Structure 1
C-alpha cells in the first residue's frame, strides 16, 4: 500500500462505468471483472444470482471475513412501446425521473442489439407545450426518443425492441484537473474498483492476510438482495463497501472515507464501527462517521436474511447520489487505505 496509486483505481473505475449493467443485466460487467482478476491467479466462482466471489486464503482459516461491493446500477426497462414509436419506462432501482431527464441512454434488445436514445418528458418543446415546466416527471410523461427512423409500434418492433428490454444511462465519465471524478454509477462501481485494486495489491505484495477473506462483487444490491447469500459459515465480519451519502445534515464529504453508524435498517455493529474509526485515526485518514437516513446496503440485506455476522459499512463520499454523482480522488484514496489496513487488523469475535 506504500505504492498506492489512485490513478489505478480511476482507470479501473472508468472501464467499469462504461459497461452498462442495470440490475438484472450484469453479465457483461461481471465477466469484465472476472477477466481483470484472472491474471492474478485468485480463486473465483460465480453464485447462481450471477455475482462473483473471490477468495484469498489467510493464516487463520477458522474465522473468515467478507467484503462486498456491488457492480449493478440504476437503470430502466421498456414498459410500453407507444403508438408514436417512443418508449415508456419502468425504473430499476430508486431514483427520481427528473434525475435522468435529458440523459442519453442505450436500449439493449434480447438478441444483443443496441440502440441509442434520449430520455425526455413527452411535453419537452416549450414552443408546443405551454406547461412544459410544470408537467410532472413520472412514468406517464417520461419517455425514450429512439435514434432510429421509427414512427409507430411496428417500426420499433422491426428493430427488435420489445417490452422488458433493458435501458441504461450514459455515465459521462470525467476526471477534472482538480481531482474530481464525475460520472453516473459511482454508486457503487467506485467501491468495486477499489476492491479490485486492493486484491491486486495484496497478491503482488505477497503479504499473507491474517484471515481467509472473501470479496463478493454483488449484482442485485440496487433492488435489495445482492449480498444476502453465499456467506460462508466461518464468516465473522462482513463489510459492505458502498457510497457515503452527502447532503444537508451529513458529515460525509467528497474527500473522506465515510463510516456508517446507522442507516434505514438500524445501527451497524458498534464494535466493528469503533475498530474502523481507530484504524482511520491510526493511519491519519480523513474520515467521517455518518448516518444515512434513506439507505440500505448488502450488509443490512445479509443481516435481514438471518446470517450471524458482525456487519459494517464504509465507502467513498459521493455527492448527488442516484443522480449526477461526483467524488474526489482523496475520497478514493482514503477509502482504499482504510480497507487495506482493516484487512490486516486483528479480529475479535466478541467485540
Structure 2
C-alpha cells in the first residue's frame, strides 16, 4: 500500500463539504472535482448531466478496475408556498424529518439563494406548551422559515421562490483534533475525498497500477440512479466507497475499514470481497465485516442496469448516518490505503479480461465439508453404532 497525504485528504473533504450538492443540483461539485483532476494531471470525461469518469493507465487495459463514490447528498425541495409565508418541503433522498428539524439551509432560486431554518409546525414552547413535544415526526409536520420578509404567500412570490426550488442543508462541519469529523453529508463527500487522496498517492509515488483504474464520481446515488450508466465494457470489478452503519446490531466501526458482505440487494461478489479482506490482513489494515439490511449503493445501480461486473462495498463507519454524522480520520486513511493496495495488486482472475469466455479459468468456490476437530472433552459429533 502507498502513503496517504492526510492533510490533502482533510482539506479535500472540507472543500467538498462547502459546496451544496443535493441530488439534482450537482453542477458545481462536478466542476470542482474536474478542476482537481486537471490540477493532478489525470484524464477524465464528463457525462451530459455531470458524472465524472477519470482513468489512471495501468500496465494492461483489461480487466480494468473501478472505484466509485457519489457527489450528491441529501436535501429537500420546495413542495408548496404556504399562506403563512413558510415553505412546505419534500425530501431529496431518504432521510428522516427528525434530522431536518432545526437544520440551517439555503433555498436556491433562479435569482439567488436565501438562508433559512427547517422548523416543526409548532416550534415555540411559549406558544404551544406541551404540544411542542407531542407533534408527530414527519415531513408533513415541518416547514421552512426563510430569513427574509415573508408573512404570506404573496411575499414568497415577490422573493422569487417557486415550487421545485432546491433546498440545500448546511453541513456545519467540525474537524476535531482527536481525528473525529462531525458534519452532515459525510455520506458521501468523505468517500470522494478518499478516492482523490488514493489517486494522489499513486501519482506522488509514480506507481503504475496493475491494470487501468477508473475513478467514477456519480451524481444521483441518493435517489437510486448512481453508477447505472458510467461504466465501460473494460471494467470487470467495481468497488463502491461509501458509509458503513455504526449502530447497535451492526459490526461497522468508526475505525478501520468496514467491508460490506451484503446489503438489501444481496451478497457482494464472493471472490472480490474475500480478496479485499486478504489485502487488509496482508497490509495490517484494521478491518471488520458487516451486512447491511436497509442499504444500497452505486454498486447496486450498476448491476441493476445490466453491468456484468464483480462488485464490492468498502466503507467508513458513520454514526447517525443520514443525520448529523460522525466519522474518524483513521477510517478514511485506512480506506485510501486499501484502495492503493488493491490497485497495485495482481489480477487473480485473468478470465475477467473477456466479457464472454469458455469454462477454462472460471472461478471456484469451496464446496467440501470443513474438517472438524474435537478436543478430548468435547461431546462427540456422531453417535456410535447402536446409539440414538
Same fold (TM over 0.5): yes
Mapped contact 2:26–2:72 kept (Cα < 8 A) = yes
Question: What is the match of residue 126 of structure 2?
Answer: 127
Question: What is the match of residue 24 of structure 1?
Answer: 24
The answer on 1:87 being equivalent to 2:94 is no
Moved more, 335-344 or 5-14: 5-14
Shift of 1:155: 1.1
- 1:1-351 counterparts in 2 under 5 A? 2-111=2-111, 113-130=112-129, 131-347=131-347, 348=349, 349=352, 350-351=362-363
Shift of 1:206: 1.9
Mapped contact 2:239–2:313 kept (Cα < 8 A) = yes
Instruction: Give the distance between the partners of 2:219 and 2:81, measured in 1 at CA.
Output: 28
Instruction: Give the distance between the partners of 2:302 and 2:3, measured in 1 at CA.
Output: 34
Shift of 1:204: 2.5
Based on CA coordinates, which of the two structures has the bigger radius of gyration? 2
Shift of 1:86: 0.5
Shift of 1:222: 0.3
Structure 2 alignment gaps of length 5 or more: 353-361, 364-388
Match of 1:49, SS state, is coil
Moved more, 172-181 or 263-272: 172-181
Mapped contact 2:2–2:337 kept (Cα < 8 A) = no
Instruction: Give the distance between the partners of 1:45 and 1:97, measured in 2 at CA.
Output: 37
Instruction: Give the distance between the partners of 1:272 and 1:27, measured in 2 at CA.
Output: 33
Structure 1 alignment gaps of length 5 or more: none
Instruction: Give the distance between the partners of 2:263 and 2:97, measured in 1 at CA.
Output: 24
Runs of 4+ off more than 3 Å: none
Instruction: Give the distance between the partners of 1:19 and 1:7, measured in 2 at CA.
Output: 19
Shift of 1:3: 3.9
Shift of 1:129: 1.5
Match of 2:8, SS state, is helix
Alignment coverage as a number of residue pairs: 350
Instruction: Give the distance between the partners of 1:324 and 1:154, measured in 2 at CA.
Output: 34
Match of 1:62, SS state, is strand
Shift of 1:2: 4.8
Instruction: Give the distance between the partners of 2:61 and 2:37, measured in 1 at CA.
Output: 22
Mapped contact 2:209–2:343 kept (Cα < 8 A) = yes
Match of 1:128, SS state, is helix
Instruction: Give the distance between the partners of 1:71 and 1:316, measured in 2 at CA.
Output: 16
Shift of 1:116: 0.3
Shift of 1:178: 1.5
Shift of 1:7: 2.4
TM-score w.r.t. the length of structure 1 is 0.97
Instruction: Give the distance between the partners of 2:277 and 2:218, measured in 1 at CA.
Output: 25
1:64-112 per-position Cα deviation (integer Å, ceiling 9, x unaligned): 111100010000000001011110101000100001110110010024x
Mapped contact 1:244–1:257 kept (Cα < 8 A) = no
Instruction: Give the distance between the partners of 1:266 and 1:59, measured in 2 at CA.
Output: 33
Provide closer, same or farther for how the CA distance between residues 18 and 209 of structure 1 changes in structure 2, counting only shifts above 3 A.
same
Moved more, 167-176 or 203-212: 203-212
1:275-326 per-position Cα deviation (integer Å, ceiling 9, x unaligned): 0000000111111110011000110111111111111100211111000100
Mapped contact 2:4–2:198 kept (Cα < 8 A) = no
1:108-133 per-position Cα deviation (integer Å, ceiling 9, x unaligned): 0024x011000100101112113111
